[in-house]
Structure 1
């Protein structure tokens, strides 16, 4: 589908009424429509390197603000492009087409995009790992907290526990403050809905901390 999406930013004498003047022409192709925008020549340098959705946004905004009028066919085509780009999925598809075009045209961009894809894959891998982790540790010198997933198949809810225990047991940080875990029901102990919320809460009550997954070296 991205092969049918194309944007080109050109500089030249495109206005037949003023052949000596340089103008910026933006040509947009999407599935089922093709439109062009004639803009001031001074916009060329600012548009030629920008992502395609942003280029089309600038072109559309210029026509709206300048009350530019064209023939009915051209106006219909530009309206179709604008409506199509309002959909987030279509906007993402145009951005992906721009990335592919950059990769084909510029070797440096191709290398950077490949590295970006590898980073995205690594981030997704780390997010999946964090989503399956059963315990996180939040440390500062001489003190630590454990963020622990509830046991069971669903593993819903997280608890915040002091790493150290006393003769009365281990304290847990709950929505109502510190309490000893031994006297808490399961829903009271594992009261934090997800790991992100629980870790953020642990950081809040113990500033200047370092977060580690269980099993990492001390």
Structure 2
């Protein structure tokens, strides 16, 4: 019984070797597509086949902030705002408000979702979706609510910081179709420094 098992295994090994050397094998049929052991193909098709392709929707890919625009919007705070947008913790509540303003300019739904709390949308994916609809980068379906006044944030013109006191920041967002006057309550966060708590002492369009 043991001898028969060894003979069967040997026949299988020889068969595999013969198949690999035959004209119909992959390496003989298309030698340009052969990849040596230990080497990884970087072609988009191969990466998709291996599950490494970037499947992030275009609407949710983060855009690199323009330094000139940051300087125009934030003056000497442009550098810190740039660092926050790249993942550094915000030193103050005002700095995070400035970074979120620039994220709105970039229509960066992911950054906005990561740096806030929303009791109605506890899952980050739901917050990202809400901001993408607000920015108009994704189309609503039958289950989505209308963006309403929030759609005015698609056309921002400038940020006006009125007052920063403790964990509260009062500011105005000047848009082409109106002005949002808000006093946001921020809260400390281990990763992002400060995030929007989801609470505002004032929130009105003028």
TM-score by length of 2: 0.22
Structure with more contact order per residue of length (Cα contacts < 8 Å, sep ≥ 6):
2
TM-score by length of 1: 0.21
